[in-house]
């Protein structure tokens, strides 16, 4: 097992002690043990160690360490909240199994808003100048991508090639698609799609190297679910269940339901209609109706009364369904429903946080913390 010896000097104030007074402290540790210790540190603390020495930098910026850290973080997924007024504030809840306002940590102010679902600790943000940023909310690092891209932005990761990619797709009938690969040539590439379509909802989902998002097919003149393979950069279409449409202003959301892609409508009375994609290749959908018990008791005391519309955000690692208000009701809260036990709970957030009037909010489930150093990632 490889071992490393580090030496450091004692300092007094801003000045180093005299040579005769300096005492060297040598600490010999196996590299594997150092990596194990680093994976237990917060991402922001890890990123600061990059400047300590070339040795620390080589470990932290290595792909092996990043994978180990993210794998460990995946066992402790977070709820990531975005609240938008003049700037975006991120709040991370450190426990999904027993969330509460006591677990809100490290708010981050970003001059823009999230425009794609986070993946492996990274997110895409569009600022007020319409610039695209890729960032790590855990470390607070955000870097701008070259060029201005309009339309919808999708973000994902291909585990086979170990690459992050950003897809820019049209929301109009001119139908243009471009791809940006993080860490590559630093340029957008136009790609061909043999299924002319334009995106109708940008909040897609990435699963197993494939990005799923809602669109309108120009050939068939119908709403479809688009699959974009990040590895081969190819598009395919999935037919939606009868009567289901994924519009920008419609009620159906694309969510993760126990590891499968699902569509779910909004509700004001606790009754939700889910369509689960059981087989992607066969395009088989299964309908599931969900009735959350004691709904009025859970949400009836909001300022909007029983007319507050709720969105389903998908399932978390416990198998519970998460529901959140579609509009900010001054005090934000979520409802967790366990279908196995047929029990629901309400959790209030941001009771003691100073949050101004909010015009937009988003919940992201299963967010993982990452120590990824963005300049290295983007080859800047």
Domains belonging to the chain, first-starting first, are 3-67 (no CATH), 76-377 (2.120.10.80)
Query: Per-residue pLDDT averaged across 211-234, rounded?
Result: 94
Helix, strand or coil, per DSSP, at residue 45: helix
Confidence check: pLDDT of 337 > 70: yes
Helix, strand or coil, per DSSP, at residue 70: helix
pLDDT digits over 288-315, tens only?
A: 999 999 998 888 755 555 577 888 999 9
Confidence check: pLDDT of 354 > 60: no
Q: DSSP of 187-215, one letter per residue?
A: S-EE---SS-EEEEEEEEEEETTEEEEEE
Helices assigned H by DSSP within the chain: 31-38, 43-48, 54-60, 63-74, 295-299, 374-377
More confident residue, 251 or 357: 251
Structure tokens at 51: 């400047």
pLDDT, position 48? 84
Confidence of residue 246 (pLDDT cuts 50, 70, 90): confident
Smallest Cα–Cα separation from 122: which of 59, 52, 65, 206? Answer: 206
Residues present in the chain in total: 380
Confidence of residue 329 (pLDDT cuts 50, 70, 90): low
> What value does the mean pLDDT of the chain take?
79
Residue with tokens 């892609």: 261
Task: Give 112's contacts (C-beta < 8 A, 6+ positions apart).
Answer: 87, 88, 125, 126, 127, 128, 133
Task: Give 141's contacts (C-beta < 8 A, 6+ positions apart).
Answer: 47, 135, 373, 374, 375
Contact status, residue 247 vs residue 263, Cβ threshold 8 Å:
no
Structure tokens at 70: 């993210």
pLDDT, position 10? 33
């Amino acid at each position: 097992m490889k071992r490393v010896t580090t030496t450091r000097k004692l300092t007094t104030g801003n000045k180093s002690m005299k040579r005769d007074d300096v005492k060297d402290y040598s600490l010999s540790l196996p590299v594997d043990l150092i990596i194990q210790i680093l994976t237990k540190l917060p991402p922001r603390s890890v990123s600061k160690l990059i400047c300590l020495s070339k040795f620390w930098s080589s470990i932290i910026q290595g792909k092996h360490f990043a994978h180990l850290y993210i794998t460990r973080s995946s066992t402790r997924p977070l709820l990531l909240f975005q609240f938008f007024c003049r700037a975006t504030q991120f709040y991370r809840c450190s426990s999904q199994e027993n969330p509460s306002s006591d677990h809100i940590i490290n708010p981050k102010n970003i001059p823009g808003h999230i425009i794609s679902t986070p993946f492996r600790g990274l997110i895409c943000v569009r600022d007020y100048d319409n610039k695209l940023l890729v960032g790590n909310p855990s470390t607070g690092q955000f870097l701008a991508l070259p060029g201005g891209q309009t339309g919808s932005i999708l973000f994902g990761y291909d585990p086979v090639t170990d690459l992050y990619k950003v897809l820019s797709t049209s929301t109009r009938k001119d139908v243009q698609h471009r791809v940006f690969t993080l860490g590559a040539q630093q340029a957008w590439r136009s790609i061909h799609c043999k299924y002319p379509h334009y995106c109708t909802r940008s909040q897609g989902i990435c699963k197993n190297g494939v990005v799923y998002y809602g669109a309108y097919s120009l050939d068939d003149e119908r709403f479809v679910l688009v699959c974009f393979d990040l590895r081969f950069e190819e598009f395919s279409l999935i037919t939606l269940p009868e009567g289901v449409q994924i519009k920008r202003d419609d009620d159906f959301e694309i969510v993760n339901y126990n590891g499968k892609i699902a569509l779910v409508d909004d509700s004001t009375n606790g009754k939700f209609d889910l369509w689960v994609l059981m087989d992607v290749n066969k395009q088989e959908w299964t309908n599931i109706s969900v009735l959350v018990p004691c709904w009025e008791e859970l949400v009836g005391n909001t300022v909007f009364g029983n007319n507050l519309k709720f969105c389903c955000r998908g399932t978390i690692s416990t198998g519970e369904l998460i529901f959140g208000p579609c509009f900010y009701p001054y005090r934000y809260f979520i409802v967790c429903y366990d279908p196995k036990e047929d029990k629901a709970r309400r959790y209030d957030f941001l009771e003691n946080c100073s949050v101004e009037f909010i015009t937009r909010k988003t919940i992201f489930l299963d967010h993982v913390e990452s120590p990824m150093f963005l300049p290295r990632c983007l080859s800047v």
